[in-house]
Copies of this chain bind each other. A is one copy, B any other.
Amino acid sequence: MRVLVVEDDHALAEVIAEGLRDQGMAVDLAHDGLAAAAKLDLASYDVVVLDRDLPGLHGDTVCQMITDRAARPMVLMLTAASAPGDRVSGLTLGADDYLAKPFHFPELVLRVHALARRKPDARPRTLRAAGIELDPVRRIAVRDGRQLVLSVKEFAVLEALLRTSPGFLSAETLLEQVWDENADRFTNTVAVTIGRLRRKLGDPPLIATTPGIGYHIA
């Protein structure tokens, strides 16, 4: 899952980003509205965590820019003020959920997950395919009754593959979906991660390769 955090307080932004990364999300940062707009053009996000009080372009404006689009990410608006009116106008502007600072971090995580599930191309609570059962929120993966111990990246790759099943995912697309903007495009880290994932998945082989096309769940 790919998330954009828009927050002018650098320290807070880092805290949020790190916390979400621990959850296996690919997180990009923007510290003002303009940077956010640029990043939104460069990648497609599942969720945007958006501070309402931004320098330059106001959060409300950014929110409208996002929600004007056809295929848009879900927006979780953060606000310092807790005036009840804010909630209303925020939602009116098209934010999909609302969270007042200060907030408990676990709640932020929960809401981001919940928003991702509400997306039009929604992801079900648990993904199932070919003897695999995967719970993205609780981060549990089971194959044939046996629980798998996966690293953050391995889990994210497996989730992406299951979501796309029975379709294909190229290494390039996986880089976009699972890694963040700092990923080197000419690396073979995807191949390595797939390899490690395959080993943990055990037999029979679950992930198949079609040279020149990508990976898919067999």
Q: Is A24 an interface residue (CB 8 A)?
A: yes
Given contacts A138-B168, A167-B139, whether A149 and B113 have CB atoms under 8 Å apart is no
Kindly list chain B residues whose C-beta atoms are within 8 Å of the C-beta of A56: none
**Docked-complex contact B211 and A151, CB < 8 angstroms:** yes
Q: Is A172 an interface residue (CB 8 A)?
A: yes
CA distance A36 to B10 in the complex (A): 35
Kindly list chain B residues whose C-beta atoms are within 8 Å of the C-beta of A149: 208, 210, 218
Residue of B nearest to A184 (CB): B24
Kindly list chain B residues whose C-beta atoms are within 8 Å of the C-beta of A211: 151-152
CA distance A135 to B168 in the complex (A): 11
**Docked-complex contact A41 and B213, CB < 8 angstroms:** no
Kindly list chain B residues whose C-beta atoms are within 8 Å of the C-beta of A152: 210-213
- The residue that A44 contacts in the complex, of B42, B117, B147, B172, with Cβ under 8 A, is B117
**Docked-complex contact A24 and B186, CB < 8 angstroms:** yes
Q: Is A110 an interface residue (CB 8 A)?
A: yes
**Docked-complex contact B168 and A114, CB < 8 angstroms:** no
Given contacts A139-B167, A166-B140, A172-B24, whether A151 and B41 have CB atoms under 8 Å apart is no
- The residue that A210 contacts in the complex, of B42, B113, B151, B218, with Cβ under 8 A, is B151
CA distance A76 to B168 in the complex (A): 30
Q: What 0/1 readout, one digit per residue, does chain A (146-176) give for beta carbons within 8 Å of chain B? A: 0101111000000000001011100010000
Residue of B nearest to A164 (CB): B138
Kindly list chain B residues whose C-beta atoms are within 8 Å of the C-beta of A213: 139, 152
Given contacts A139-B213, A152-B212, whether A42 and B113 have CB atoms under 8 Å apart is yes
Can you spell out 18 A-B residue pairs with CB atoms less than 8 angstroms apart? A24-B186, A38-B110, A41-B114, A42-B110, A42-B113, A135-B167, A138-B164, A138-B168, A139-B167, A139-B168, A140-B166, A149-B208, A149-B210, A150-B210, A151-B211, A151-B212, A152-B210, A152-B213
